[in-house]
Amino acid sequence: MRGLLQRVRRAAVHVAAVEVGAIGPGVLLLVGFAPDDTPARAEALLDRVLHYRLFADAEGRMNHSLVDTGGGLLIVSQFTLLADTRKGLRPSFTPAAPPAQARALYDHLVATARARHRPVASGVFGADMQVELINDGPVTLLLDVPG
């Protein structure tokens, strides 16, 4: 499982020109799932996302988390995060989980996030989405969840 966190001033996701999710200041999480991922790993990723210190304190140091700030969380599925790009000129997506498994994990992640934090918005799994954001900083971090 791989999550790409982006600290944002705002972010939104559109499907067929319709906004399906949006947040103000907070975190955009792009997430991809591997075949060996589990609901427990999804929860471990969520715990890290909610508590990862990437917001500034009074001295300007990244010491505050999403939980501390009460910011929004926008979760968007992105299987391309699992692409194998080590050789050739076209990515291989064999490291990504099959769609049915990935959808179940994504749904679990979003439901758990909504139970543990507010506000939470999401994209539409498997849809052709347009994601817009204003990256704050910019701060972008890649999180891998160990097995």
Active site positions, annotated: 78-80
Which of 126, 125, 123 shows the shortest CA–CA distance to 18?
123
Cα–Cα distances in Å, from 92 out to 23, 58, 74, 79, 83?
32, 44, 26, 11, 5
DSSP code of 89? Answer: S
Which of 89, 124, 93, 130 shows the shortest CA–CA distance to 106?
124
Tokens encoding 11: 């972010």
